[in-house]
Homo-oligomer: A and B are copies of this chain.
Amino acid sequence: MKINTNYQNLKDNYLFAEIARRVNEYKANNPSADVISLGIGDVTLPLPAACVEAMEKASAEMGTTEGFRGYGPDHGYEFLSSAIQNYYKRFNVSLELKEIFVSDGAKSDVSNILDIFSADNTVLIPDPVYPVYLDTNIMDGRKIVFINANEENDFLPLPDKSIKADIIYICSPNNPTGAVYDREQLKAWVDYALDNKAVILYDAAYEAFISDPDLPHSIYEIDGAKKCAIELCSLSKIAGFTGTRCGYTIVPFDLKSGDISLNAMWLRRKGTKFNGVPYIIQRGAEAVFSDEGFKQCMQNIDYYMQNAKLIADALDELSIKYIGGKNSPYIWLKCPGGRKSWEFFDYLLNNANIVGTPGAGFGENGEGFFRLTSFGSRENIIKAVDRIKKLDF
């Protein structure tokens, strides 16, 4: 048999392995050091009680003849898709039930959605970026063009009309930079996509962190987006579902290539290569959108955002430049003293026993930048901030 040789074009992703290596080395040499991680992209607070109760109840149901459920519907259970449909009404976005597909998370679907597109497409990816966008397209052998996200454009690049792209990735609030597009900027992307008959893959995984009422949560808040955009979202960050696995993907009926409905193609893909999200998990996900569950989710998000504020305030005090941290759990800072990303990593580890993520790991434009996350415990954030304030940059 012949293997998919595109895999040989993948770069080994050393970022988190290299972080672990340096941290372990430091700990071995400094066994009493109290090392605090502000590097993780994973949440730490337990699941909301409403979700836990719903999953306990659904587990028990599955043990009864009346309550047992076998194969579920290809779109996901309607109790969940209608909860998602209702959620979008908050953003004044009206969706049809069959435009919503329950997924096992944004990472799976942001990758799998590529199945319905030809390998012969040019893909536009911002740099720095969540590595999955890049790697999945390398695996398929697509032509990739990067668009620079940098200080000059506040890490929010706008379309360059001289570039002809077919598939465009937008992540807002952004991972890793925490930057968030406003309506006018997103409108520029929608117009560009419509002009180029391109499709936007809009990763809204962090939308729940947006508190500024003027910022859009969904690309469908922008006129014309239903004709050019697929939106992918996750419950990982809104509800702490990183280990519970549920999300959703929206493929509007208006999104077509000639006469061909992308919604129909995606339904065929889902029906052929996937057998749905566990019933128990879909019940847990439904609870996220209940009054009680949503209140609990928002309490957790407030907790993380207060963590972010503690970090941001310290950086302000130290006159360290950063973006994010206001409508995003990520803080993207410019390494003080003109340090490179890994230099600053070592500086912070050695002098404050704090671990973060070097921006250079997310792409060329990340060099000289550094990502801190607000997903730690309050206790650790306070300790970390105190240590950072004592540093002499």
Contacts and interface: CB of A to CB of B under 8 A. Distances in A.
A15 to B, nearest CB: 13
Interface stretch (A132-140, A208-216, A350-358): A132-140
Interface stretch (A22-30, A86-94, A149-157, A265-273): A265-273
Contact of A257 (B1, B105, B111, B139): B1
A59 interface: yes
A284 B60 CA distance: 12
B70 A46 contact: no
A244 B116 contact: no
A117 B2 contact: yes
Interface in A234-288: 240, 242-245, 257, 260, 262, 265, 268-269, 272-281, 284
A106 B319 CA distance: 54
A367 interface: no
A59 B62 contact: no
A254 B243 CA distance: 31
Given A72-B243, A117-B2, A120-B2, A275 B46 contact: no
Contacts of A166: 1-2
Contacts of A45: 65, 68
B116 A7 contact: yes
A323 interface: no
Identify the interface centre among A10, A47, A166: most chain B CB within 10 Å of its CB: A47
Contact of A59 (B7, B55, B268): B55
Given A60-B56, A68-B47, A116-B7, A278 B244 contact: yes
A234 to B, nearest CB: 9
Nearest to A3: B257
A162 interface: no
A198 B1 CA distance: 5
A121 to B, nearest CB: 5
Interface of A: 1-5, 7-8, 10, 42-49, 51-52, 55-56, 59-60, 62-65, 67-72, 104-105, 107-108, 111-112, 115-118, 120-121, 132, 135-136, 139, 166-167, 197-199, 240, 242-245, 257, 260, 262, 265, 268-269, 272-281, 284
Given A2-B118, A2-B120, A139-B272, 14 more contacts: A1-B117, A1-B198, A2-B121, A2-B166, A7-B116, A43-B70, A46-B63, A52-B62, A59-B284, A70-B242, A70-B243, A107-B275, A111-B273, A278-B281
